[in-house]
Structure 1
Amino acid sequence: MKKNILFLLFILSSFCQAKELNKTYSLWYDRPAFNRGGNYSKIAAKGYPFDEDWERWSLPIGNGYMGANIFGRTDVERIQLSEKTIGNKGCYGAGGLTSFAEIYLDINHNHAKDYKRELRLNDAISTVSYSYEGVDFYREYFANYPDNVIAIKLKANVPGNISFRLRPILPYLHPENESKTGRTGTVKAEGDLITMEGNIQYFNLDHECQIKVVNYGGNIRAAQDIQGKQNTIVVNQADSAVIFIAAATSYQLNDSIFLLPPLEKFRGNEHPHRQVSERIKNATDKGYECLLKEHITDHQQFFNRVDVCLTEETPVIPTDQLLKNYKEGKRDPYLEELFFQYGRYLLIASSRAGALPPHLQGGWNQYEYAPWSGGYWHNINIQMNYWPAFNTNLAELFIPYVQYNEAFRKTATRYAVNYVKKNNPEALDPIDEENGWTIGTGATAFSISGAGGHSGPGTGGFTTKLFWDYYDFTRDLKILEEHSYPAILGMAKFLSKTLKPTPEGILLVDPSSSPEQRHNDKYYQTVGCTFDQGMVWENYKDLLEAAKVLNKKDPLLNLIKEQIGKLDPIKIGESGQLKEYREEKKYGEIGDPHHRHISHLCPLYPGTLINSSTPEWIEAARVSLDSRGDITNGWAMAHRLNSWARIKDGDRAYQLYQLLLSLKVTENLLGNNPPFTIEENFGATAGMAEMLLQSHEGYIEPLAALPATWENGSYRGLVARGNFEISVTWKNRNAVKFNILSRKGESCRIRYANIKQTKITDSNGKSIRYRVLEKDIIEFKTKPYNSYYIQF
């Protein structure tokens, strides 16, 4: 309860008043999404069926808890419902997501005219409009977070024309069986309410969905399907109708989920019927218009914080045609803006306090076995999901991962003990907690793995980087004290026990693996690879900074101060490359030279070890990036994009941004690994922000990697470390003005060419004194929530 109150206090303290954006951002199409069924001949994501139409054409809405994919059809509308806590055995046998329900509306409006379907990012509302037999029809869909319901409204411009059959199903039902893959359930309609309830055998996990229909005019009745089962609702000749959807399971996030075997995880938990019923009743009592207004206010408090303007024009062609033109070489800055804002929209829709974090597909999944289990892969997926949270002004959206991580921490401590016992027993502490905690690659809503396998212990340091950034961008001491510092300290305790000395006095992680790299057809295991050494360094550096802020005196700190100087994390090879392995000489002699992962460059991004103060390492990183190549998996291209931005090569970063849009995005602008994974979207959004603003070197650097193509533009609301909200206008690739809102009142250091010749004023027009630290770096004092203006 105390943690929840603090989370709410943080939300209130960092609330940004919604502002209107320069333009409307929407995905829109002049035809419905196809719904031709899954292509079972395609092998993707561990061999499970592939639904190309769901992947490419449906439009996602979500509230963090639930997600829905809208097809916008006029004959039989399909609304595919996802919910993050419904899982089955999964494709690895360790638990994985499954689809919750399919909801069909038999409307039977064939050969509609003047058709348009749209997803407006500004207010997170999806719409469908068309005319049929002289009547104009309109549908509206949104996922409300405060009340955790999905709402749909159907109306027409002529009274008495809303008629449809609501026909939901529970998918993938199987009898219980020895392999424990059964799913049982029933669908029952009574009056204006449909209740779908069932059980997942593998976890004995109960689930329920209720769908309430409110008709205005006409009549409504429960009806039988063609098999004689009372499981549909028919609305006839209404003026309008509203549908409310709520779904939940008996899942409750706590440490027992990760400590207990499958059938014990949810034993004794309350059946979801009561909470689902309360949500439906509350939604009905409030009414559609109240929920809509509440939804828009809630969404826009996040979405409207950031505005990026690269063009004043808004295209008048459908999004799929816009994307097609872009792929054919017709650059469109509006599409580049749209793609950036789409990533922010998707994060708002899939990461909200109280719900689970966004998984591999964000908050959406239509499959019986979600690709790669729909998990939280800790060798880059979960990190990339949150890269845009901090610099695009969405820090509160990291709360779900904090809650998830702290729930699995006891299990992670057990894994740490087991790891040290196996690999460095002489370092084992008799007190379990003093061995820290660890995390491996694989994790889901139902289980986690420990360090080892194809990704080394550095995976943990890669993870705690998020916790440091959570503090560093907010500068909230409660966050540091209660969440970030414990996470970073616990990881440092573990990592300190993975190091072994060499005769030369260097400390190396042993055993060590660069994520998913293979050599001679086997995952390559070594000692002290750059990924592991670099992520240990990042964790140690963050711990020492955090301890200094909090004036901590933990006994471990002296050891960390000693060890950090002995890590020797970065080595340069004979090809001029930044080595992935200490033993490599020329680039590519170990492992796949064009591997999707660039884990040895994590000290460049998202780390800070490689920076402009180490120009020889920057150049070596450039050689490695060039040698690795650009064309690979979508998420891996997004990591390359952010890395080129960190090198401050805006043109190469922009090239990756273009390639992502041209090669790794489908008609609905979702990332195409393939199949669909969400990281491409989040990584691309973070990458554009990194091109426009950097702050990892102890100062704020606007336009650090501005490409030549973005000759003129502006942005508002990006966030720099120190909790400075930055707005910039530029012309002919030169800054015109900076607006800096200091949300914590810390000293502001800012770097830009010839900045010492400028004048700084505050919101009252008063000149602000500053001192010159270096040729292009100045520093000045600020006050909390005061604005400062720099004019060029």
Structure 2
Amino acid sequence: MKRLLIAPLCLVACVAFAEPRVYELWESNPAPVGPVETEPRKNGTFPYDQAWEYWSYPIGNGYMGANVFGYTDVERVQLTEKTLFNSGLYGLGGLTSFAEIKLRFGHDAVKNYRRSLNLNEGIAVVTYEVDGVTYTREYFISYPDQVLVMRISADQPASVSFTLAPEIPYLSSLREQDKRTGSVVAKDNRIILSGSLPNENNNYEAQFRVLHEGGQLKAGADTITVSKVDRATVVIAAGTNYELSSDVFLLPPNEKLDPAKFPHDRLNAILDAAVAKGPDALKQRHLDDHGELFGRVALKFDSEVSPLPTHQLLEEYKNGKTDIYLEELMFHYGRYLLIASSRENTLPAGLQGSWSNYEITPWTGGYWHNVNVQMNYWGACAVNLAETFEAYINYFKAYHPEAQKKAAEFLTEHHPDRVSEEPGGNGWTIGTGATPYKINKPGGHSGPGTGGFTTKLLMDYYDYTLNREYLEEVAYPALLGMSRLFSKTLIEEGDHLLVQPSASPENPVTLEQIEGHPGRLDAKGRHWITVGTTFDQGFVWENHNDVLKVADLLGKNDPYLNQVRAELPRLDPIIIGESGQIKEWRQETTYGSIGERHHRHISHLCSLYPGILINSSNPEWMDAASNTLDLRGDLTTGWAMAHRMNCRARLKEGDKAHQVYSLFIAEKTVPNLWTLHPPFQIDGNFGVMAGVSEMLLQSHEAAIELLPALPAAWSKGAFDGLVARGNFVVSAEWSDNKLIGAGVTARSGGLCRLKITSAKDARVVDASGNKISARVVGDDVMEFNTVAGQKVGIQFGK
């Protein structure tokens, strides 16, 4: 039997891949030019640049992102910095492009062209030949040094010449309120691009320094030209006067940022430190940082690395030649994008991650809490990148005081008799739309369940990391506050307690569908504001269940917890309708009697995924959830297909999960492997990354289940480094769709429970091959005790 791994399988939790794969996106041509639409689209965004969305290669460090086009005449590198916001949309403001960086090389007739994005290294590379000289350009954005680095070299001395010409985009805005001021000034080996945006008193600046070996350097008014050098490096730092703090959310718009504060000194210090290290050290520090994160997980199906350029690989997949290498590559690309757009000390990944070339970015580029920002982080802990979620934890801490105010406002509007005057007595809430500057309270097309959708993330982070300090200081107060808010929204209806007001995110209804039922249409006349939708009821159940679990872990005895215990069994969150479906609304009869039959949101299935209420202990609910997905259909927007994929994985329907994944790649993926709503939204990339991990490893039902939703298409493969709840790192190898070996590292120790087929035929061994005592529970669960740091292997046969 051909094995994917070194034989025998590593007995500890480090599946040894014979030859770690290098994952690349690559093309044999630069990105095409255009087309660019300059008029606003129907959703209010502009301009739309297809070359940027389909073909450019994204790099980033969580603070900022850049898109590399690979042109040889005038290279284009578009720069985004997460805190530069204009008036945007919906009164929330919006992310906007920071700078356009042009490198004028004047190379037209080139040979042997290749551009690539190395996911293992986090480096974009462009190489080509002109007049017998081979030129190489490397681009990366370093998290430890907080700089964008562009290294330009040639294989012959004194051959590198170019002009660096950064530009401020959108100085002539279509909107008066978004007209930014700014200038670009060059002196010696430095360029300073700086200005202000009026919307939030946003002062911005980018500093460029050019280092060169040999040849000459000359500064113009706003450019720097290097001539006949051996090698040159451009180092860039960018930022604004934004600082993440509670004041940013609490203060009125004209006071959120200090107009007298500028980022100049901070950026100058960043560049001084980076330049002092030198180009080679900057690259090595970046490689060490990125590589440590990316290298934590290995996943290999029984596939070969494709020799095709990425667009051709994708095109063949779309035409029916479904190379599973592309499915493997998409998983790793999701991990790459998460590292590039969300780090411990940065803002979280937004709707477009860290990237926007727009003046007015779709849906603000912010944090949408009725599924999108949650989807960004569904797989973070499972793919061994828990640190990336710390960005959201810090964001939550900053907006939490404002969220407490929003809770009081929400209750004053809907339940004025229940408003508490006690500090924290109303809990907290968050609506759908949010940015680094503002949050909303629930209303319109989404009910208060958006808050429970968010606390589910906070709970999952603890379940995966077992960080006790975090549990005490962040998760428990967040869960307790959310339950307090939920309790005040519940009204008596017979034996049940129902959320009022309640809505099922974004699914429109008609007047005929809701005639005779309680509630009203929202201000736009499309969405039903009613009582007790499955979305809201489900997340009250999830949050109440989690807060009681955490209270037990911490030994808390807050008297309010007795109210939570009393409310939990009265929520009636899951109801099966006449079509055998999970109802979205309580008043629903047959499937589709209310709402759109094939709507993108599957909010009523959030209790299946990411929630845990619908699970295998209730087969009737599982069957109804599967039927609901069948009725809803797979072909929808990108991120919504990713949610369907995860739900199919939770249902242990591996082939159906794979079917959605294949359709997603074929219908919603573009040549740079970004995925579309459309337009580009990064939640699709992150959603299918989570979906792949969920197909291979689940841990939400009190045991770690290996290969729970393995499709026939992935009949042979191996993974290493995926993480299960309980802080266990897991490896596995399988063939003919059967597990043939596994490993576990117990980061925190404790009881490990594994759900595997033929558990009675398996044995647990330590790193020396000695058998460890294990108990078999039923037919398919084995459990054994571990200590922190212990590594064990799972073997079958003699």
- Whether the TM-score (by the shorter chain) exceeds 0.5 is yes
SS of alignment partner, residue 314 of structure 1:
coil
Which letter maps to 1:544? Answer: L
SS of alignment partner, residue 565 of structure 2:
helix
SS of alignment partner, residue 518 of structure 1:
coil
Question: Does the Cα contact within 8 Å between 1:18 and 1:305 map onto a contact in 2?
Answer: no
Q: 1:566 aligns with which of 560, 563, 570?
A: 570
Whole-Å separation in 2 of the counterparts to 1:452 and 1:431: 24
Q: 2:269 aligns with which of 250, 258, 278?
A: 278
State the partner residue of 1:207: 204
Q: 2:503 aligns with which of 494, 508, 513?
A: 513
The CA deviation at 1:484 is 1.2
SS of alignment partner, residue 562 of structure 1:
helix
State the partner residue of 1:56: 54
Whole-Å separation in 2 of the counterparts to 1:563 and 1:64: 41
State the partner residue of 2:96: 98
Question: Does the Cα contact within 8 Å between 1:174 and 1:184 map onto a contact in 2?
Answer: no
Q: Deviations over 1:182-229 (max 9, x none)?
A: 210000000111001100111111110011111111101112xxxxxx
SS of alignment partner, residue 434 of structure 1:
coil
Q: Deviations over 1:43-71 (max 9, x none)?
A: 36434221000000000000010100000
State the partner residue of 1:6: none
1:269–1:716 distance in 2 versus 1, CA, 3 Å: farther
State the partner residue of 1:703: 707
Whole-Å separation in 2 of the counterparts to 1:107 and 1:732: 53
Whole-Å separation in 2 of the counterparts to 1:202 and 1:462: 30
State the partner residue of 1:439: 430
State the partner residue of 1:168: 166
Q: How many residues align?
A: 769
Whole-Å separation in 2 of the counterparts to 1:362 and 1:545: 33
State the partner residue of 2:119: 121
Whole-Å separation in 1 of the counterparts to 2:119 and 2:630: 35
Does the alignment pair 1:460 with 2:460?
no
Q: 1:579 aligns with which of 565, 583, 605?
A: 583
Whole-Å separation in 1 of the counterparts to 2:204 and 2:229: 32
State the partner residue of 1:183: 180
Relative to structure 2, which stretch is displaced further, 141-150 or 514-523?
514-523
State the partner residue of 1:197: 194
Whole-Å separation in 2 of the counterparts to 1:89 and 1:40: 18
* Structure 1 unpaired stretches of 5+: 1-15, 224-229
Which letter maps to 1:197? Answer: S
Alignment of 1:58-97 (within 5 A): 58-97=56-95
Q: 1:684 aligns with which of 679, 688, 706?
A: 688
Q: Deviations over 1:320-351 (max 9, x none)?
A: 11111111111112111110000000000000
Q: 1:486 aligns with which of 477, 480, 484?
A: 477
Whole-Å separation in 1 of the counterparts to 2:255 and 2:569: 46
Whole-Å separation in 2 of the counterparts to 1:273 and 1:155: 30
Q: 2:312 aligns with which of 321, 333, 342?
A: 321
Whole-Å separation in 1 of the counterparts to 2:754 and 2:383: 18
1:176–1:575 distance in 2 versus 1, CA, 3 Å: closer
Alignment of 1:772-791 (within 5 A): 772-791=776-795
Does the alignment pair 1:763 with 2:767?
yes
Which letter maps to 2:226? Answer: V
Whole-Å separation in 2 of the counterparts to 1:269 and 1:632: 47
Whole-Å separation in 2 of the counterparts to 1:568 and 1:130: 64
SS of alignment partner, residue 793 of structure 2:
strand
SS of alignment partner, residue 496 of structure 1:
helix
Q: Structure 1 segments of 4 or more deviating over 6 A?
A: 16-21
Whole-Å separation in 1 of the counterparts to 2:560 and 2:360: 43
Q: Deviations over 1:730-758 (max 9, x none)?
A: 01000000101111111011111111221
Does the alignment pair 1:287 with 2:278?
yes
SS of alignment partner, residue 399 of structure 2:
helix
1:373–1:176 distance in 2 versus 1, CA, 3 Å: closer
The CA deviation at 1:36 is 2.5
Question: Does the Cα contact within 8 Å between 1:414 and 1:432 map onto a contact in 2?
Answer: no
Q: 2:213 aligns with which of 209, 216, 225?
A: 216
The CA deviation at 1:18 is 13
Alignment of 1:563-712 (within 5 A): 563-712=567-716
The CA deviation at 1:672 is 1.2
Whole-Å separation in 2 of the counterparts to 1:353 and 1:174: 36
State the partner residue of 1:555: 559
The CA deviation at 1:42 is 7.6
Whole-Å separation in 1 of the counterparts to 2:498 and 2:710: 38
Question: Does the Cα contact within 8 Å between 2:27 and 2:114 map onto a contact in 1?
Answer: yes
Percent of residue pairs bearing the same amino acid type: 49
The CA deviation at 1:34 is 1.6
1:176–1:589 distance in 2 versus 1, CA, 3 Å: closer
Relative to structure 2, which stretch is displaced further, 302-311 or 259-268?
259-268
Question: Does the Cα contact within 8 Å between 1:165 and 1:234 map onto a contact in 2?
Answer: yes
Question: Does the Cα contact within 8 Å between 1:44 and 1:50 map onto a contact in 2?
Answer: no
Whole-Å separation in 1 of the counterparts to 2:93 and 2:398: 16
1:260–1:498 distance in 2 versus 1, CA, 3 Å: same
Question: Does the Cα contact within 8 Å between 2:759 and 2:776 map onto a contact in 1?
Answer: no
Q: Deviations over 1:207-258 (max 9, x none)?
A: 10011111111101112xxxxxx10111111111000010000000001111
Question: Does the Cα contact within 8 Å between 1:33 and 1:57 map onto a contact in 2?
Answer: yes
The CA deviation at 1:35 is 2.6
Which letter maps to 2:185? Answer: K
Does the alignment pair 1:38 with 2:36?
yes
1:120–1:20 distance in 2 versus 1, CA, 3 Å: farther
Does the alignment pair 1:337 with 2:328?
yes
Q: Deviations over 1:484-523 (max 9, x none)?
A: 1111111111111111111x22100011000011112611
Which letter maps to 1:652? Answer: K
Whole-Å separation in 2 of the counterparts to 1:71 and 1:600: 41
SS of alignment partner, residue 607 of structure 2:
coil
SS of alignment partner, residue 194 of structure 2:
strand
The CA deviation at 1:586 is 0.2
Which letter maps to 1:608? Answer: I
Root-mean-square deviation over aligned CA pairs: 1.6
1:592–1:384 distance in 2 versus 1, CA, 3 Å: same
Question: Does the Cα contact within 8 Å between 1:715 and 1:729 map onto a contact in 2?
Answer: yes
The CA deviation at 1:452 is 1.7
Whole-Å separation in 1 of the counterparts to 2:199 and 2:40: 27
The CA deviation at 1:766 is 2.1
Question: Does the Cα contact within 8 Å between 1:184 and 1:198 map onto a contact in 2?
Answer: yes
SS of alignment partner, residue 219 of structure 2:
strand
Q: Which has the higher contact order (CA 8 A, sep 6+)?
A: 2
State the partner residue of 1:426: 417
Question: Does the Cα contact within 8 Å between 2:205 and 2:240 map onto a contact in 1?
Answer: yes
Whole-Å separation in 2 of the counterparts to 1:270 and 1:766: 63
Question: Does the Cα contact within 8 Å between 1:65 and 1:363 map onto a contact in 2?
Answer: yes
Whole-Å separation in 2 of the counterparts to 1:317 and 1:429: 63
SS of alignment partner, residue 617 of structure 2:
coil
Question: Does the Cα contact within 8 Å between 1:96 and 1:445 map onto a contact in 2?
Answer: no
Which letter maps to 2:539? Answer: M
Q: 1:719 aligns with which of 723, 738, 744?
A: 723
1:477–1:269 distance in 2 versus 1, CA, 3 Å: farther
Q: Deviations over 1:82-134 (max 9, x none)?
A: 00000011122321111100000011100210000000000101100000111
Whole-Å separation in 2 of the counterparts to 1:122 and 1:19: 15
The CA deviation at 1:453 is 1.4
Question: Does the Cα contact within 8 Å between 2:635 and 2:641 map onto a contact in 1?
Answer: yes
